[in-house]
A and B are shown apart, each in its own frame.
Chain A
Amino acid sequence: MTTDPTKTTSANRPRRDVLGLAAWTMGAAGAGLAAWPFIASLGPGAEARALATIDVDLTPVAEGQAITVVWRGKPVFIRHRTEAEISAARAVALEDLPSPEPDDTRVRRAQWLVVLGVCPHLGCVLQGQRDGEPRGDYGGWFCSCHGSHFDESGRVRAGPSPSNLPVPPHDFRDDGTLVIG
């Protein structure tokens, strides 16, 4: 008697199942691996990654002054804080903050505050960097889009912003050089 090898019978079923499962698994693994480079190609390119870390020369920034630099396409506010601003930021009771965070956890060196200058509410760039711009009721920045106020530590004090201004990863290479990213 001959059996038709193309038909599944009770005798060859377990073997068929194993072979089928193995084939599908290999196929799925191959498809997944083939998709990898295509998905990866959608990420930031080498030229963007090269700018993911920037050096900022702080020597020209005098006490009381602020500068704005661009890091990953976003404005970063760097403020050289005065003694008065530092002590004001540290004097606030944490209970009074909508989003409690002590000032010393937000800075690496007390006189240098480094925050993203974009309102956490809906992404507007904040006012208060340049002379003559409103700094809000708490000595920091003000969002003219929806009226959030930020203090000398970049913490939200009033308005719809759900959180404090994020502090980007940063460090000091030496006294005059800040590294962001």
Chain B
Amino acid sequence: MENADRTRGLLGWIDRRWPIISFLRGELVDYPQPRNLNYWWSFGFLSGTALLVLIVSGVFLAMHYTPHADFAFASVQRIVRDVPYGWLIRPLHAHAASLFFAVVYIHTFRGLYYGSYKAPREVLWSLGVALLALMIPTAFMGYVLPWGQMSYWAATVVTSMVTAVPVVGEDVVAYIRGGYEVGNPTLARFYALHFFLPFVIAAVAAAHVWALHAQRSNNPLGIEVQDSRDVIPFHPFFTIQDMLALAGFLLVLAGFVFFAPDLLTPAENFQPADPLSTPHLIVPEWYLLPFYAMLKAIPFKILGIVAMLGAILVLFAMPWLDRSPVRSARFRPIYRVLFWILVADCVLLAYAGTQPAEGVPLLLARIGTAYYFAHFLVLVPAIAVFERPRALPQSISAAIMERRASRRRRSHA
């Protein structure tokens, strides 16, 4: 317990009985990080921060919100009009949710780019995908709570998907809604789950970070840490790097909250839910658009739903679909191109998701969906066979020395 002796006084007394200080020092201060981590490695921290902002603002919203079909809409209006600083807390929650998805998507694509899903980080990756799979229903159920027109019809459309299940579909839907239509029982259970699931997410995120600390971080070169020259302690360098990333994140969040508080509320949601009139175009939040496009792209109801779920599930298989021994896309000329095409494909799907399912947008949605699955199920396994990776550097520190040397050469020339 060499660590415990470093803490004196009351904290030291506690630490010798419950080594929390030593633990935190080991995991957050002395923790060896690859010295070449760039800002894309701050997005896990930003995801955790966004989750914290969501839980805090959500608890305060819950103190003023009424989960009843007759009062929910009015109680949300009261929050933004009458509750002190409610005008701030509600948009904060909505935009923090939106940015949560933004940073988690970036975090996920970071993993795809640098091959962080490969051995020995498969479980870490799977826990990440599980987090994504939990975030989606949580966000959807939160969207229903204000009980405006868009909330109500989003709930109707999404719960109706279950009717596609053969034989029992109709009955299951009634159990999901707590009635034959979306109504007060639906709202009450969505509220209970929307309150509960974030704590499940927090617990899975803790498991995710635990798994990370068991294997330690990958790095932009995707090669193993070899000796102490490849690492530096987490504190102060990476704490400061993360704090700077946090400052940027909070600036963007504040920008949305103060300058576009209602950006995420479509006009329809300023009208209370009306079970007798459907809005012309039902569109989910931006972060669910690609999935929504997949649903619309496929003419057979059941297959559309399978595709939507499959889009997430296929990520679980990524460690086994990609057999290339090289992690980082920096050294994989073909994979790197495919990666950016996949990013573009997701943007395309998001666009198609905003459009009515007809004509050119429908065609784009179909191409986009087909390509998405082809990327994971065909292209990634195939290129692993014939791609010729570029030569890997000997070690992280060797690569840094090499880069410094070449920079010096250039400045002399």
| Interface mask (A31-67 → B, CB under 8 Å = 1, otherwise 0) | 0000001101111111100000000000000000000
Q: Which of these, B60, B63, B82, contacts A47 with CB under 8 Å?
A: B82
Q: Verify A41–B236 contact, CB threshold 8 A.
A: no
Known: A6-B232, A47-B78. A41 touches B85 (CB 8 A): yes
Nearest CB on B from A41, distance (A): 5
Q: Verify B86–A41 contact, CB threshold 8 A.
A: yes
Which chain B residues lie closer than 8 Å to A37 at the CB level? 84-85, 88-89
Q: How far is the CA of A83 from the CA of B103 in the complex (A)?
A: 76
Q: Which of A1-28 contact B (CB under 8 A)?
A: 6
The residue of chain A having its C-beta at the shortest distance from the C-beta of B247 within the complex is: A30
Q: Verify B85–A38 contact, CB threshold 8 A.
A: yes
Known: A6-B236, A38-B85, A40-B84. A45 touches B60 (CB 8 A): no
Q: Verify A43–B84 contact, CB threshold 8 A.
A: yes
Which chain A residues lie closer than 8 Å to B89 at the CB level? 37-38, 41
Which chain B residues lie closer than 8 Å to A45 at the CB level? 64, 78, 82-84, 86
Q: Verify B82–A41 contact, CB threshold 8 A.
A: no
Q: Which of these, A6, A38, A42, contacts B56 with CB under 8 Å?
A: A38
B237, CB-defined interface residue at 8 Å? yes
Q: How far is the CA of A43 from the CA of B57 in the complex (A)?
A: 16
Size category of the A interface is: 10 to 19
Q: Verify B60–A38 contact, CB threshold 8 A.
A: yes
B81, CB-defined interface residue at 8 Å? yes
Q: Verify A41–B64 contact, CB threshold 8 A.
A: yes
Which chain B residues lie closer than 8 Å to A42 at the CB level? 63
Which chain B residues lie closer than 8 Å to A40 at the CB level? 84-85
Known: A6-B232, A6-B236. A41 touches B78 (CB 8 A): no
Q: Verify A6–B237 contact, CB threshold 8 A.
A: yes
B284, CB-defined interface residue at 8 Å? no
Q: How far is the CA of A46 from the CA of B80 in the complex (A)?
A: 11
Known: A6-B232, A46-B82. A41 touches B60 (CB 8 A): yes
Residues of A within 8 A of B (CB): 6, 37-38, 40-47
| Interface pairs (5), CB distance under 8 Å | A38-B85, A40-B85, A41-B63, A41-B89, A45-B83
Additional A-B contact list (5), CB under 8 Å, known A6-B233, A41-B85, A41-B86: A6-B232, A41-B84, A42-B63, A45-B84, A45-B86
Residues of B within 8 A of A (CB): 56-57, 60, 63-64, 78, 81-86, 88-89, 232-233, 236-237
